[in-house]
């Protein structure tokens, strides 16, 4: 379970999150929608532990433990996974090398023994097949020359292999065509389980047709301004964010 | 006008004395040695006012001249070779040197793979072997003071001739096991005859804690249609002041793929002098240097496209940690007749610390009007966003940094086609990263 309490965050003296509160229960898929600049991506980075942000107040509790003092690697080992909006290209690092390093680093951090090479390859191949990732892609340098869809599938592959308990999808639908959106969504849906929760950040309701959320939260000016069930996404799609902008102006 | 007398440094004075003492016992023609020494001695050790040594002031760096190493006993040599680690797992014809002297008893001269002939240099010099005329194939080297010093003092070495396609790599294995500082001067000449091909491997390792002063020269003549792959590893001890020269002359339709990987030495200066003397030849000339603490590593390169229609690619990577200093000086020369030359030189440095420094000096001298030449030089640090990405996947910061450093160097190392050699080089990089902590 993830609980965010009164989170206040700034970057370079600019306040981005203004006392944000949010709870995501185990097994829950929570969607966050909001206009550009409302702080959605900042929230995902702050949960994952990016250094550039200054947390002025509040806490982020993962299963009751405050993760704000942890480094990004420790948070990953504790179960946080961020699927990046723009996955980074790492020339010179083969995807397989990277996956093995990441999986073993997390196993080590949890005090478990490292994977043998055959076990590792077996796991990767099984997960890759489900996401329709060709083996050839895994031999290439991580994300280098990958299409938008391939990069997002690679993110979901990592999510599957790292067995994280709290997964953030930061605008995973951006840059995806219809087929890629389906493959990625099916990959995520296959990972839904009572002990894994998701925070799905998106601009559009379209993704939520594929990954049906349990709860929908509207974010504006660094706060959650409204919460509801999946029907809230449809309402937003019909009316836009104008209501929230007006309330801000008023 | 008053006559100007150059003050000699203690090291220069010691070199004069060493040459006087040694010249009678060194093998071969004393006259040509004396000439080389005299040319060197006129200017002494090069210093920062000499443009080519602006960033590597040997007069300041070489405070004392170490005594030249004596030939080790056979037992001593065998022990040293047993401890040698570089490329130990690579299947190769080994030509070992200990303390700058060829361990000829370790070479089965009669049992060498077909196509390889090896002649010990010391006896060749003494007997006036006919191949000696092929020494010093590159003028750029002959004009160089480090090379001249080697010419004056070269005590041992080999001359190798390759005919046909030789598949087993030839490993020139240089080990200095002396626990007190010693100087060595070795010379290797490799002649790869027309249409022949070979893989040459050099490793240089020495004991830590002693300020050894190796000065190694490898000269390569790749005749028309010859194909040479060359891998050099500098794994010298942590106090060594290592000077080295790789001089290569390439014929027509030939190819060269070479890399120098440096993980050792306190100070090193590695010089590459290459001349394209025939058309339609290609060369990939790479380097990967890892520097830490107060190390100083200099790679200096002159590539002369003396024939038209040749292609050269130079890719040098330097990783700098601590208060280390890196130097890259690369010059591509295209004379007026060398039309259709295609040369691209890149030097990239990665600075891991606040205190490190990199001096990049790429140069192009182009006198032809129909060529494609480019050079680039970069200095940067690890990308914070990439580090965050890796850490967000669970990699602790040191591991994430190591992975990115390996990726950075990997771009130069991946040109090594031989799997076991490439893996050995990657293992050296990994060992360096582990030692960095």
SS (H, E, C) chain A: CEEEEEEEEEECCEEEEEEEEEEECCCCEEEEECCCCCCHHHHHHHHHCCCCCEEEEEEEEECCEECCCCCHHHHHHHCEEEECCCCCCEEEEEHHHHHHHHHHHHHHHCCCCCCCHHHHHHHHHHHHHHCCCCHHHHHCEECCCCCHHHHHHHHHHHHHHHCCCEEEEECCCCCCCHHHHHHHHHHHHHHCECCEEEEEEECCCHHHHHCCCCEEEEEECCEEEEEECCHHHHHHHHHCCHHHHHHHHC
Is the per-residue pLDDT at A238 higher than 70? yes
Determine, yes or no, domain membership for A28. Answer: yes
pLDDT digits (tens, 9 = 90+) for A105-156: 999 998 999 999 999 999 999 999 989 999 899 989 999 999 999 999 999 9
Determine, yes or no, domain membership for A109. Answer: no
Round to whole Å and give the CA distance between B240 and B204.
11
Mean pLDDT of chain B: 96
Q: For residues A190-201, give the mean pLDDT.
A: 96
Query: Which residue among B388, B403, B411 sits closest to A72, beta carbon to beta carbon?
Result: B388
Interface contact A94, partner B, CB < 8 A:
no
Is the per-residue pLDDT at B220 higher than 50? yes
Interface contact A70, partner B, CB < 8 A:
no
Which pLDDT value is given to residue A246? 60
Determine, yes or no, domain membership for A112. Answer: no
Which residue bears the tokens 């966050």? A32
Q: Which two tokens stand for residue B409?
A: 């160097």
Q: For residues A70-90, give the mean pLDDT.
A: 96
Determine, yes or no, domain membership for A58. Answer: yes
Round to whole Å and give the CA distance between B271 and B150.
13
8 Å CB contact of A71 and B391: yes
pLDDT digits (tens, 9 = 90+) for B135-147: 999 999 999 999 9
| Residue in B361, B393, B371 with CA at minimum distance from that of residue B312 | B371
Round to whole Å and give the CA distance between B253 and A131.
47
Interface contact A82, partner B, CB < 8 A:
yes
Top pLDDT among B248 and B3 is at B248
Interface contact B408, partner A, CB < 8 A:
yes
- Nearest-Å Rg of the Cα atoms of chain A is 18
pLDDT digits (tens, 9 = 90+) for B293-340: 999 999 999 999 999 999 999 999 999 999 999 999 999 999 999 999
Top pLDDT among B406 and A246 is at B406
Which of B387, B394, B425 is the mutation pick for testing A, counting most A CBs within 10 A?
A: B394
Which residue bears the tokens 């709290």? A166
| Spatial CB neighbours of B337, under 8 Å, sequence gap ≥ 6 | B308, B368
3-state secondary structure (DSSP) of residue B352? coil
3-state secondary structure (DSSP) of residue A97? helix
| Residue in B171, B197, B60, B59 with CA at minimum distance from that of residue B421 | B171
Reported ipTM: the value is 0.95
Q: For residues B237-263, give the mean pLDDT.
A: 98
A-contacting residues in B 260-299 (Cβ below 8 Å) = none
C-alpha distance from A19 to closest chain B C-alpha (Å): 24
| Chain B contact set for A73 (CB, 8 A) | 391-392, 394-397, 400
In terms of CA atoms, which chain B residue is nearest residue A80?
B392
Q: For residues B72-80, give the mean pLDDT.
A: 96
| Residue in B39, B40, B44 with CA at minimum distance from that of residue B7 | B44
Interface contact A77, partner B, CB < 8 A:
yes
Is the per-residue pLDDT at B7 higher than 60? yes
CB B269 within 8 A of CB B239: no
In terms of CA atoms, which chain A residue is nearest residue B390?
A102
Round to whole Å and give the CA distance between B267 and B259.
19
8 Å CB contact of B389 and A101: no
Round to whole Å and give the CA distance between A163 and A40.
24
Q: What percent of chain B has pLDDT over 90?
A: 96
Q: What percent of chain A has pLDDT over 90?
A: 80
How many helical (H) and strand (E) elements, i.e. helices and strands, does chain B have? 10, 19
In terms of CA atoms, which chain B residue is nearest residue A107?
B394
C-alpha distance from B122 to closest chain A C-alpha (Å): 44
3-state secondary structure (DSSP) of residue B201? strand
Determine, yes or no, domain membership for A185. Answer: yes
Write out the residue range of the structural domain in which residue A51 sits: 2-90+164-249
Determine, yes or no, domain membership for A65. Answer: yes
| Residue in B387, B388, B400, B395 with CA at minimum distance from that of residue A73 | B395
- pTM for the structure as a whole: 0.90
Cα dihedral sign, A67-A69-A70-A72: positive
Round to whole Å and give the CA distance between B143 and B304.
14
Mean pLDDT of chain A: 93
Round to whole Å and give the CA distance between A51 and A47.
11
CB B248 within 8 A of CB B280: no
8 Å CB contact of A72 and B392: yes
Determine, yes or no, domain membership for A241. Answer: yes
pLDDT digits (tens, 9 = 90+) for B149-198: 999 999 999 999 999 999 999 999 999 999 999 999 999 999 999 999 99
Domains of chain A: total = 1
Round to whole Å and give the CA distance between B394 and A78.
9
Cα dihedral sign, B378-B228-B127-B120: positive
The number of residues in chain B equals 437
Q: What is the CATH number of the domain that holds A242?
A: 3.40.50.300
Interface contact B430, partner A, CB < 8 A:
no
Query: Which residue among A76, A93, A98 sits closest to B392, beta carbon to beta carbon?
Result: A76
A248 — pLDDT class (breaks 50, 70, 90): low
| Residue in A231, A225, A226 with CA at minimum distance from that of residue A209 | A231
Exposed e or buried b per residue across B412-426, where buried means at least 16 C-beta atoms within 10 angstroms of its C-beta: bbebbebeebbebbb
B-contacting residues in A 187-216 (Cβ below 8 Å) = none
Angle at A94 between CA A88 and CA A98, to 5 degrees: 70
| Residue in B333, B332, B242 with CA at minimum distance from that of residue B289 | B242
């Amino acid at each position: 379970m993830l609980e965010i309490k009164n989170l206040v965050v700034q970057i370079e003296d600019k306040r981005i999150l203004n006392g944000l509160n949010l709870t995501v229960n185990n097994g829950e898929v929570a969607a966050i929608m909001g206009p550009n600049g409302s702080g959605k991506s900042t929230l995902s980075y702050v949960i994952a532990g990016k250094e550039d942000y200054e947390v002025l107040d509040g806490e982020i509790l993962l299963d009751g433990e405050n993760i704000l003092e942890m480094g990004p690697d420790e948070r990953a080992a504790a179960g946080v996974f961020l699927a990046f909006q723009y996955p980074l290209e790492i020339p010179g690092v083969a995807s397989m090398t990277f996956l093995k390093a990441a999986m073993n680093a997390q196993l080590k951090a949890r005090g478990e023994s490292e994977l043998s090479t055959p076990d590792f390859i077996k796991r990767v191949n099984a997960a890759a097949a489900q996401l329709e990732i060709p083996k050839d892609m895994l031999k290439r340098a991580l994300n280098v020359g990958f299409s938008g869809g391939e990069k997002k599938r690679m993110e979901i592959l990592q999510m599957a292999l790292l067995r994280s308990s709290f997964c953030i999808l930061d605008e995973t639908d951006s840059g995806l065509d219809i087929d890629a959106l389906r493959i990625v969504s099916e990959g995520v849906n296959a990972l839904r389980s009572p002990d894994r929760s998701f925070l799905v950040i998106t601009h559009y309701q379209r993704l939520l047709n594929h990954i049906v959320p349990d709860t929908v939260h509207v974010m504006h000016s660094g706060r959650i301004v409204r919460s509801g069930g999946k029907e809230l996404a449809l309402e937003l799609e019909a009316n836009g964010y104008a209501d929230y902008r007006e309330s801000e102006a008023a | 006008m008053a006559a100007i007398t150059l003050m000699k440094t203690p090291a220069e004075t010691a070199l004069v004395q060493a040459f006087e003492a040694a010249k009678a016992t060194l093998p071969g023609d004393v006259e040509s040695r004396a000439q080389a020494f005299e040319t060197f001695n006129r200017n002494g050790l090069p210093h920062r006012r000499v443009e080519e040594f602006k960033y590597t002031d040997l007069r300041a760096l070489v405070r004392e001249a170490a005594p030249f190493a004596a030939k080790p006993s056979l037992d001593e040599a065998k022990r040293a070779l047993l401890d040698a680690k570089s490329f130990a797992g690579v299947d190769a014809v080994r030509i070992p040197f200990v303390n700058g002297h060829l361990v000829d008893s370790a070479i089965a001269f009669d049992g060498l793979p077909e196509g390889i002939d090896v002649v010990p240099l010391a006896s060749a010099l003494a007997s006036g072997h006919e191949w000696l005329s092929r020494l010093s194939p590159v003028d750029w080297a002959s004009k160089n003071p480090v090379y001249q010093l080697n010419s004056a003092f070269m005590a041992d070495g080999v001359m190798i001739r390759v005919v046909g396609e030789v598949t087993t790599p030839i490993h020139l294995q240089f080990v200095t096991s002396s626990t007190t500082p010693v100087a060595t001067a070795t010379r290797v000449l490799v002649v790869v005859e027309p249409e022949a091909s070979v893989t040459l491997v050099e490793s240089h390792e020495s004991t830590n804690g002693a300020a050894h002063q190796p000065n190694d020269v490898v000269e390569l003549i790749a005749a028309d249609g010859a194909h040479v792959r060359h891998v050099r590893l500098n794994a010298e001890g942590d106090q060594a002041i290592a000077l080295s020269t790789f001089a290569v002359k390439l014929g027509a339709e030939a190819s060269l793929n070479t890399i120098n990987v440096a993980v050792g030495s306190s100070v090193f200066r590695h010089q590459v002098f290459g001349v394209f003397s025939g058309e339609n030849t290609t060369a990939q000339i790479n380097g990967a240097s890892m520097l830490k603490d107060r190390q100083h590593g200099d790679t200096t390169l002159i590539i002369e496209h003396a024939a038209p229609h040749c292609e050269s690619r130079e890719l040098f990577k330097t990783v700098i940690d601590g208060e280390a200093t890196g130097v890259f000086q690369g010059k591509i020369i295209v004379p007026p007749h060398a039309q259709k030359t295609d040369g691209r030189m890149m030097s990239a440095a990665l600075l891991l610390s606040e205190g490190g420094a990199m001096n990049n000096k790429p140069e192009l001298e182009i006198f032809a009007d129909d060529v494609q030449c480019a050079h680039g030089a970069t200095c940067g640090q690890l990308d914070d966003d990439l580090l965050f990405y890796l850490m967000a996947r669970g990699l602790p910061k040191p591991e994430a940094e190591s992975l990115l450093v390996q990726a950075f160097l990997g771009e130069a190392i991946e040109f090594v086609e031989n799997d076991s050699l490439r893996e050995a080089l990657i293992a050296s990089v990994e060992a360096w990263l582990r030692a960095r902590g």
